Amino acid sequence: MKMRRIVGFGLLLLSAALVSLPASWADWGLRRVSHERLRLSACSGTVWRGSGILTRLESGSIAPLALVTWRFQPMALTTGEARWRLTLDSAEGEGAVTLDWSGWRQSGFESLLQDEDPADAALDGAPA
């Protein structure tokens, strides 16, 4: 009986810790999925629902890109995935970050992950 209470209390503490994970932990997932090119700063909320400033690391400096908000999509768990819907206040609009058995992946923000700015690439081909 006593062991059951201890296990129950332990599960309660673990659940409370998971529910209240700070939004700054979302930066860890974003860094992994973007191969260290994107970061989150000034985060607020939790990893399940929050916001922050999306930044890009360029030549050792940090360039702010957009305000981002995210929300966990619990229905994705039925397919064996953990998915967050992200919304940017820039032209990028919406995308998703997903974790499944094969690892992290992103969709909808491909232009943010390009190594070169599309505007710079267009200028490189323009006559001088």
> Is pLDDT at 91 greater than 70 in this prediction?
no
pTM across the whole model? 0.65
The residues facing 99 across adjacent strands are 82, 104
Q: What is the pLDDT of residues 98-125, one digit of tens each?
A: 878 887 777 776 666 555 444 444 333 4
SS3 letters across the chain: CHHHHHHHHHHHHHHHHHHCCEHHHHHHHHHHHCCCCEEEEEEEEECCEEEEEEEEEECCEEEEEEEEEEEEEHHHHHHCCEEEEEEECCCCCEEEEEEECCEEEEECCHHHHCCCCHHHHHHHCCCC
Query: For 62-86, what is each residue's pLDDT tens digit?
Result: 888 888 888 889 898 899 898 888 8
Confidence of residue 27 (pLDDT cuts 50, 70, 90): confident
Pairing of strands 61-73, 103-107: unpaired
Mean pLDDT, the chain, whole residue set: 75
